[in-house]
Structure 1
Amino acid sequence: MALGFFSSAGAQDQVSSPDAKRLSTAVFAGGCFWCVEADFDKVDGVVSTISGYTGGTVANPTYKQVSHEKTGHYEAVKVTYDPDKVSYDALVDYYFHHIDPTDATGQFCDKGESYRSAVFVADADQREVAEAEVDMINASGVLGTPVVTQILDASTFWPAEDYHQDYYKKNPLKYRYYRTACGRDARVKKVWAEDSAGH
């Protein structure tokens, strides 16, 4: 796993590749980063995902620090994608429809500051897209209560420990049990039950 930081270039990030194709990045926090990573890996156009920590005050934080101390960090996922295949707008829409944006205390069975939901925006364009999505969801009334997911300025993204990367692939049985026991998919289905957008 290449360790790197989320740059402020945002949607215009240049990511090196053999064919020099322009790739872009986005950062989302939606509770357990194992689950967020697994969800985004299913999206056509997503090239890679990295679980990590962002939004806090401690440099190079550990999972133990983020989970048990007041570091301010969120569990988050850095998504690298091909903008010719999937847009940032589509990723933001996908993200919201795979979390519970009405829970300010965390996500599903995971509660606490590190499990809160947030979109970390790198520039004005990303902020405009994210805020427009929130406005659209709220205007639709589909959730029955306002979105509490925050739209925050991006800060340094710290990759998590190796054992967290691709956890759902390395530990499929444990992962499936955790996801089911945590009620993630059942809750998402219930929260978005009245959504008419076909997600």
Structure 2
Amino acid sequence: MGREVATFAGGCFWCIEEAMSKVEGVEKAVPGYAGGHTENPTYEEVCSGETGHVEAVQVVYDPDKTSYKELLIAFLTSIDPTDSKGQFADRGSQYRPVIFYHTEEQKELAEKALKVLSESGLFDEPVRVAVEPFKNFYPAEEYHREYYKKEPMHYFYYKEGSGRKRYCEIVWERKGGRKLLEEKL
């Protein structure tokens, strides 16, 4: 079987790239910019909020070794699905959570996962992750790629200081959110 592609946006792309890279069967997780109206935007342009892009990660994976379901779980358990105005310390439309689907099967599974979360009782606020058709993706500048490996101390303090690490430990591990998704999808 050939390789398949998935694209996720969940705030800072460094964090989503790290989460995706940990999934066995992922061959590439590339940070970049998706969904906007400007061709080949720069980081600074995307950060302005004017290009319509979100920070995203495009994943190339081997479907014989992992599934879209596993990627979806890895993505969702790396974000706050109730925050559509950004993620953790990163605020603005360029940091909103989006699942970009490449196939109807991806769309259906994404919608099912969000329904499971909406009905789970885990959250006090509504689930607000967008599900949108894949339109475009532009790889980020080289210095953003594998940032979590290149600058591990800075990355650690960023992830810790943003609140992402603690939130994910509480909601997805202690409260059983990950287990719920694994059982219901």
1:194 is aligned to: 175
SS in 2 for 1:59: coil
For normalisation by structure 1, the TM-score amounts to: 0.85
**How many residues of Structure 1 are paired with residues of Structure 2 in the alignment?**
179
2:40 paired with 1:70 = no
What is residue 33 of structure 2 aligned with on the other side?
A: 53
Report the alpha carbon displacement of residue 69 of structure 1 after superposing the two structures with TM: 4.0
The equivalent residue for 1:171 is 151
Deviation at 1:120, TM superposition (A): 0.3
- Structure 1 residue 190 displacement after superposition: 3.2
1:57–1:71 CA contact under 8 A, matched in 2: yes
Identity of aligned residues (%): 43
Alignment gaps of 5+ in structure 2: none
* Map of 1:28 onto structure 2: 8
CA distance in 2, matches of 1:65, 1:52: 12
The one-letter amino acid paired with 1:187 is Y
In the alignment, the residues of structure 1 paired with residue 171 and residue 52 of structure 2 have an alpha-carbon distance, to the nearest angstrom, of 27
Q: How far, CA to CA, are the matches of 2:60 and 2:9 in structure 1? A: 15
CA 1:150–1:168 in structure 2 vs 1: closer, same or farther (change >3 Å)? same
Q: Does 1:98 align with 2:78?
A: yes
- The answer to whether the Cα contact below 8 Å between 2:49 and 2:92 also exists between their aligned partners in 1 is no
**Alignment partner, residue 118 of structure 2:** 138
Partners of 2:109 and 2:45 lie apart in 1 by 32
> Does structure 1 residue 181 correspond to structure 2 residue 174?
no
Of structures 1 and 2, the larger Rg is shown by: 1
Take 1:37 and 1:186, find their aligned partners in 2: how far apart are those partners?
18
Displacement, 1:145? Answer: 2.6
More helix as a share of residues: 2
Q: CA deviation at 1:197?
A: 4.8
Q: Which AA in structure 2 matches 1:195?
A: G
Counterparts of 1:196 and 1:76 in 2: how far apart (Å)?
23
Task: Report the secondary structure of 2:5's partner residue.
Answer: strand
